[in-house]
Amino acid sequence: MKAVIQRVTSASVTVEGSIVGQITQGVMILLGVEKGDAEPQADWLVEKIRGLRMFSDADGKMNLSVQDIGGALLVVSQFTLAGNCAKGRRPSFDTAAPADEGKRLYDYFVAAAKRTGLPVETGIFQADMQVAIVNDGPVTFILEK
């Protein structure tokens, strides 16, 4: 399971011209599910994201987590994170989880994130989404478990 996380001052997801998920200060999460992933990876990622000190304190040091600042999470499925670009010019998605398993684990991840008490917004699994973010910093991390 892979996640690209970005510290944002705002982020939104639009599907067919309508905003389906939107946050102000918090973390934008692009989540990719691969074959063999399971609930323990999702639980680990949620806890890592919830507690990761990626927000600045009064001294400008990254000492605060999204939970510390009262921020929110925006979770968007991104199967292309499983893409392998090592050979040729066309990415291979052989390691991506099948759609039904990807959706099941994406939904599990979202439910686990909601159990933290943080506000959680989402995109729509397998939809053609337009994602708008204002990356704060910019601060971006790639997490894999």
Which of the following is catalytic: 6, 41, 78, 122? 78
Which of the following is catalytic: 6, 41, 55, 79? 79
Farthest-apart Cα atoms in the chain, separation: 48
Indicate if 78 belongs to the active site. yes
Give just the sign of the alpha carbon dihedral 26, 143, 97, 90.
positive
Instruction: Give me the helices (H) in 55-98, please.
Output: none
Query: What tokens does 65 get?
Result: 């987590």
Compute CA distances 95 → 37, 43, 48, 92, 102, whole Å. Answer: 10, 20, 23, 8, 11
Indicate if 95 belongs to the active site. no
Report which residue type is found at 11.
Answer: A
DSSP-assigned beta bridge partners for residue 96: 34
Which of the following is catalytic: 24, 80, 126, 130? 80
Indicate if 80 belongs to the active site. yes
| Residues classed as catalytic | 78-80
